[in-house]
Amino acid sequence: MYDLYMRLLNRFGFRYWWPGDTRDEILIGAILTQQTMWRNVELSIDALKRLKSLSISKISDMQIDNLETAIRSSGYYRQKAKRLKNACKQIMRYGGINKLLIMDIPELRVFLLSIPGIGEETADSIILYATEKPTFVVDNYTIRIMSRVYNKKMDYGILKNYFEGCIKKDAELYKDIHAQFVELGKNYCKKSDPSCDGCPLNQICLYIKED
DNA sequence: CCCCAGGCGTCCA
DNA sequence: TGGACGCATGGG
């Protein structure tokens, strides 16, 4: 497993994830980036900054149509505006970001998953990048890549358990490994091109397959 | 014109 | 439990 990470690190370099100046910004971005390129999320974040509303507290009080306009570039903007505002309200009611910081991972995960619009990946992204606790984030790239490596359909829970079982629980390490998988998925092992040509994991995958 | 993106909730077999 | 579908803008 560390071989795999070292190979990715060597190919793509340290990823410095997640971009964002505050925990609030990271949490908000985690919801906005669902099924959306980060580039388009940045436009929404800039718009919220211009409105001086880039915080959980401010968004929980925003007019829904103002929020919709601000995050339009992130797609699904009506759904996301509604869910984002509701998530912010629930977090404020719960005690705000500082409350999340003092919770342990299992209870934090249960709380986040109870909020409509926050599924497993978003919950784990918030825990790992916004609160910096070591939970492994699995995304669709990771699922696709690992499914191809093992030539069988993998799901979220299987992969999360697998990675957490063989990698030491270190938030900085988990952050970069997830970021590396995203970079790998954007460049190789695509839906439209399952070819392994030039993939930096090529030999590792062959090794795993023979296992 | 096409397909895809750092998902999620719902519905249906 | 697992696959299809709606949500929607913006990039390649």
A63-78, pLDDT tens digit by residue? 999 999 999 999 999 9
Report the distance separating Cα A48 and Cα A50, nearest Å: 5
For residue A211, pLDDT over 70 is answered with no
The pTM of the full predicted model, rounded to 2 decimals, is 0.96
Average pLDDT over residues A155-177: 97
pLDDT of residue A206: 77
Q: Which tens digit of pLDDT belongs to each residue from A83-133?
A: 999 999 999 999 999 999 999 999 999 999 999 999 999 999 999 999 999
Which residues, including other chains, have CB under 8 Å from residue A45's CB and lie 6 or more apart? Answer: A20, A25, A28, A29, A32, A54
In this structure, is the CB of residue A157 within 7 Å of any atom belonging to strand B? no
- Which of A138, A142, A139, A129 shows the shortest CA–CA distance to A171? A129
A89 touches strand C (CB under 7 A): no
CA of A35 to C1' of C11 (A): 14
